Structure 1
Amino acid sequence: MSLNKVDASSFESRVLKSTTPVIVLFNDASRSASNKMVATLEAAAQDQGKAIEFLEKTLEVNGPIEKMPAYDVQSAPTTLFFRDGKLVRTVVGFYGYADTFKAWVDQLAKGEA
């Protein structure tokens, strides 16, 4: 399963106006940690794909989303968790889909994050 793509022009409608919780991975395909994080989110999507929308955005160092003060995405992989258009969690770096990261995803799906 591949992640759906989002970009600056679709970010507002797909993330900020979504009625479903959203997880966005800021990715740099040239970095192995980013590629591993894609696999983590694909596993999470298999598990929680009906409750959460999983999206991938190519990291743009000076991109309009990355430079927003509320997000301040400086490196890849960075994963942002949204509920009702509001940022509820920022995860920097690689996590496997187990233990802590899985708990965060489950919390978002249940409305606890």
Structure 2
Amino acid sequence: LKRKHAKQGYLDGLSRAKEESLQEGFDEGYRIGATLGAMVGEVLMSLTILLNASKIDKNTYDTAVDELNIKTVLQTNHFDSKLNIADESQHPIIKKWSGICEDLK
């Protein structure tokens, strides 16, 4: 009986640790994803303004929209081995298009 309770306690502890680790990972990933999503939204807004002002053509705009797609922005090659990014503002795709927007303002 003692062994059964010890084993159940071990399994409960292991399960709780996994749940807490999973929640921490979700919380951190959500923050990063939300930040990147907001940045992409700002860049797309700027590109739309530039398109409407005829400072970029439709092909350039379409290329930007394709490159700023969430699946592309969140590709693992943009993150470290733990899927973190040191500085969201240095994300290469977002940095590229935000730089283009700044140059054309």
Report TM bin, short chain: 0.3 to 0.5
The answer to which structure has the higher helix fraction is 2
Q: Quick check: which has more Rg, 1 or 2? A: 2
The answer to which structure has the higher strand fraction is 1
